[in-house]
Structure 1
Amino acid sequence: MAWQWALLFHHLWPIIFMEIFEQDALSKSNSPPKIWLRYVDDTFTVWQHGLETLEEFVNHLNSLRPSIKFTYEKETNGSIPFLDVLVSRKNNSLETKVYRKPTHTGQYLNFASNHPKTTKTGIIHTLTNRAEIICSDEKSIAVEHNHIKKELIANGYPANTIKQHMKSNKTLKPTETDKPAGTLVIPYVQGLSEKIRHLGNKYGLKTAFRSKSTIKSIVTKVKPATEKLQTHNCVYQIPCECGHVYIGETGRALSTRIKEHKNNCKKGETLKSRLAEHTWENSHKILWEDSTPLIQEPDKIKRKIK
């Protein structure tokens, strides 16, 4: 069991380090903030000592570890974004709404695209669930729901479909008895693949779809293996068509690690791979050709931290 504990420690090490770092930083500060809330390496802070001392506090944080440098953003007109949440001060209380970057285009998977309907309705559930988690009052939720409807209609989603799946926005978590007897991966052919999935359900088989031919695969020439995929000792990223990105690290050639990820996704090894779990649960396509190394670091511990 020693190797399992070692693996667990490597995953927890960055979190443990930041926990120790912030305790040390706040205890040594002459003017600590009233509130300090952290998610990984992003902090939400309430500063009660005046703007003239804020820069001094940031300099204090940056003086403790040469490799760690903090930047900060101040509220504007009583509001500040934190991750995908817009936090606003209203009558001595905080209100929260969904935050979208100025570069947000409102573009989602078009309803006419050749994808399973469950993938498209999953987008409705995801956006609705995010609104209900983030928005702090019913009025904000209603405004966000209207915004979601307008954007989805602009992407070809029927109003009735949006209304139906917004209303039934409940996520059921699988239980032990829900585990499939096996997995079946088939090319997605609209109308036919759904019937095969329905047949597989009768025999306890989990069915996942994959796109065999896409416009990109038809019009794009096959590229030879690039040098970047031969990179060793790196932190890398693998993007998904939904916009999420998987971040990992390896000491071997990146091409070798990607091959392992592909095998896990193909076999449905959801317990071994978070990437496979994401692919199978959402029927999403992983953009393997866009995988890329982010940084190189020969030291394994430092690579885990990064």
Structure 2
Amino acid sequence: MTHFEEKALASSPIHPVCWFRKVDDTFVILRKDQDSTSLLQHLNTENPRIKFTMETENGNKLPFVDVLVSRDPCNNKIETAVYRKPTHSDQYIHFNSNHPPKIKPGVTSTLTRRAKNICSSNDDIQQELSHLQHVFTNFNQYPYNLVKRTISTTLQDNPKLTKQESAPIRITIPYIGKTCHQISRLLKHQAGIDTIFSGSPTLRTILQANGRNLPFSMQPPKRVIYKINCECGDSYIGETSRPVDTRIKEHKSSTAKVDSKSALSTINKNSPVITSCSTNSKSCQPQTRTSQKGNCWKQPKSGATNL
């Protein structure tokens, strides 16, 4: 994209006063005698796969990402404030949600720091902080004193504290409430182990239709001895430490291609009696049983094959 910009601006008959881009959003300032439509048409002729759209200021205001840029027509001074889309619901992590306690004030602190960095006037900062305090206490049920204390601490220019040296061993455990804090303290004091809390699956991650396996879904068994029955009456016995579904798919692919990657394919190729029997047959259903370490992993009997 940088190469495209440099090439397009170098050949453009209109040279903007400034050109700032954030991913796929671009903020451009033109002089009054420059036509923005001509610049847009020039950009859209540079590459047939890259097309631009344009939004001009309305009432001397123009949103750019999460910043509302305002222009004073009297002195052409630019001011900035926090911008939210009209559809924004002001719903953040609810105080009663099952999240580690440090995350909740962290959300308030992050939004406070954003207001401090974006707003160019004290009036806009105070208006944004009042909005945050109202949103967190009324819509997300945060305690008033917690929100006020977090905002006050974030606005202070305190020097950064030196980060404590972490333990040599660090583990991650799912956060399930107060029990996690008890486990964390025990591991820290008695074993010198640091713990990190991970979030639990949310409705958004559970109710999704992207074709991925859910974390709690039944996974194919591993470390098994499996049996494939053919319609001719013969059977094939194999052993694998990988997911059995993966190995069965490999058998089917090798049998269809008649290659040497599967012992089953080799047998079918060399034996005219079994040539018509392959894993593509509907009657070839694998039968599996989970194997444990020990006697179950002895050398297979005659006719079985290690895969």
Q: TM-score, normalised by structure 1?
A: 0.60
**What is the CA–CA distance in structure 2 between the aligned matches of 1:79 and 1:113, rounded to whole Å?**
37
SS at match of 1:168: helix
Give the aligned residue type for 1:184.
I
Residue among 24, 27, 30 paired with 2:13? 30
* Distance of 1:180 and 1:136 partners within structure 2: 42
Q: Name the counterpart of 1:65.
A: 47
Equivalent in 156, 169, 174 of residue 141 of structure 2: 156
For structure 1, the 5+ residue unaligned runs are: 1-17, 231-306
> For residue 117 of structure 1, what is the amino acid of its counterpart?
P
Letter in 2 for 1:27: A
Letter in 2 for 1:127: L
The match for 1:167 is 152
Q: In structure 2, what residue type is equivalent to 1:210?
A: S
Hey, what does 2:193 align to over in structure 1? Answer: 205
Q: 1:216 to 1:28 in 2, by over 3 A?
A: closer
**Quick one: which amino acid aligns to residue 181 of structure 1?**
P
Q: Distance in 2 between matches of 1:117 and 1:128?
A: 18
Counterpart CA distance in 1 for 2:96 and 2:116 is: 27
Change (3 A) 1:41 1:173: farther
Q: In structure 2, what is the equivalent of residue 104 of structure 1? A: 88
More helix by share: 1
Structure with the bigger RCO (C-alpha within 8 Å, sep 6+) is 1
Summarize deviations over 1:111-155 as a string: whole Å, max 9, x none: 112222111111111111111111112221111110000000121
SS in 1 for 2:62: strand
Amino acid in structure 1 at the alignment position of 2:87: T
Unaligned runs of 5+ in 2: 214-307
Identity in percent:
37
CA distance in 2 between partners of 1:28 and 1:119 (Å): 49
**What stretches of structure 1 move > 6 A for 4+ residues in a row?**
213-217
Q: How does 1:68-147 map to 2 (within 5 A)?
A: 68-90=50-72, 91-147=75-131
Q: Is the 8 A contact 1:131 1:141 kept in 2?
A: yes
Which has the higher Rg, Structure 1 or Structure 2? Answer: 2
For residues 159-211 of structure 1, give each alpha carbon's deviation from its aligned partner in whole angstroms, at most 9, with x where no partner exists.
10011111222795886x63442222223232232233344455653322235
What per-residue deviation string (whole Å, max 9, x for no partner) do you get for residues 251-271 of structure 1?
Answer: xxxxxxxxxxxxxxxxxxxxx
Which secondary structure does the structure 2 equivalent of 1:89 belong to? strand
Name the SS for the 2:52 alignment partner: coil
Contact 1:131–1:144 (8 Å) recurs in 2: yes
- Distance change >3 Å, CA 199–CA 96, structure 1 → 2: farther
Work out which of the residue numbers 175, 178, 188 in structure 2 matches 1:191: 178
CA-atom RMSD, angstroms? 2.9
d(CA) in 2 for partners of 1:153, 1:54: 44
Give 1:47 deviation, angstroms. Answer: 1.6
Instruction: State whether residues 31 and 49 of structure 1, in contact with CA within 8 Å, keep that contact through their aligned partners in structure 2.
Output: no
- TM score, norm. by length of structure 2: 0.59
User: Given the superposition, is the C-alpha separation of residues 83 and 212 from structure 1 closer, same or farther in structure 2, using an over 3 Å criterion?
Assistant: closer
Q: Aligned pair in 2 of structure 1 residues 66, 116: CA closer, same or farther (>3 Å)? A: same
Q: Which amino acid aligns with 1:73?
A: E
Indicate the SS of the match to 1:116.
coil
Distance between the aligned counterparts of 1:113 and 1:171, measured in 2? 32
Report Cα offsets for 1:67-111 as digits up to 9, x if no partner. Answer: 111111101100101011000012321111110011101111111
Residue 45 of structure 1: which of 28, 47, 51 is its match?
28
In structure 2, how many angstroms separate the alpha carbons of the residues matched to 1:61 and 1:214?
42
Separation in 2, partners of 1:132, 1:117: 24
**Residue-by-residue CA offset, 1:207-251 (whole Å, 9 max, x unaligned):** 22235587789xx79x9xx77449xxxxxxxxxxxxxxxxxxxxx
One-letter identity of the residue aligned with 2:78: L
Residue 214 to residue 42, structure 1, CA distance change in 2 (3 Å):
closer
Q: What is the match of residue 226 of structure 2?
A: none
Are the structure 2 counterparts of residues 212 and 100 from structure 1 closer, same or farther at C-alpha, using a change threshold of 3 Å? closer
Once the 2 structures are TM-superposed, how far is the Cα of residue 49 of structure 1 from its aligned partner? 4.3
Residues 253-297 of structure 1, C-alpha deviation per residue, up to 9 Å, x if partnerless?
xxxxxxxxxxxxxxxxxxxxxxxxxxxxxxxxxxxxxxxxxxxxx
